[in-house]
Amino acid sequence: MDVMSIAASGMAAAMARLNVSAANTTNAGSQGPLDPGSPVAPVAPVSPYQAQQLLQTSRKDGGVATEVRKDSRKAQPAYNPASLFANSQGLVAMPAVDLGLELVNQTLAIDQFKANVRVFEAGDKAMKSLLDIKA
C-alpha cells in the first residue's frame, strides 16, 4: 500500500471516529424505559440509545481498519418523573455517554485527520518531485 492510500485510510478512520462521537453526543440526552419489555407509553422504543465505540486496528498492508461496535456500558437510571418513559418511581433509562470522553474523541479525530492530511500532502510533494526528476 502506498503512502497516499495509508493517509487516506487514516483520514477515513478519523471521519468514522468523529461520526461515532457525534452520534453519541447527539443522543446523550435521549431517554427510554428502564425495562424495555414493558410498554410505559405507546411511543416507548424497544430500548434506549446505546452508545457506540470505534475500534481502530492496523492493517498488515498499511493503513488502518475501523469497526463500529455497541458500547458495553448499560443505560443508567435517571430521575425524570415528567417523561413518558418514567416508571412508577419516576426513573428513566439514559444512555451511558461520557461527554468528556466524547470531547476527547472529537479532538483526537480532528488531530488524526490533520496529521493524515499532512502525510498525504508530503506524499503528493514527493511524487511531484520524482516526476520532475524523471522529466
Q: Please give the pLDDT value at position 47.
A: 74
- SS3 state at 46: coil
The strand pairing partners of 57, in sequence order, are: 65
Find out whether 83 and 94 touch, Cβ atoms under 8 Å: no
Give the largest CA-CA distance in the chain: 79
pTM (predicted TM-score): 0.83
Tens digit of each residue's pLDDT, the chain (135 residues): 788 889 999 999 999 999 999 999 999 999 988 876 665 555 545 578 899 999 999 999 899 999 999 999 999 999 999 988 888 899 999 999 999 999 999 999 999 999 999 998 988 888 787 777 766
pLDDT in the model for residue 127: 79
Any idea where the domains of the chain sit in the sequence?
3-134
Quickly count helices (H) and strands (E) in the chain. Answer: 2, 4
Lookup: cell for 27: 443522543
Q: Measure the CA–CA gap between 48 and 96, rounded to whole angstroms.
A: 10
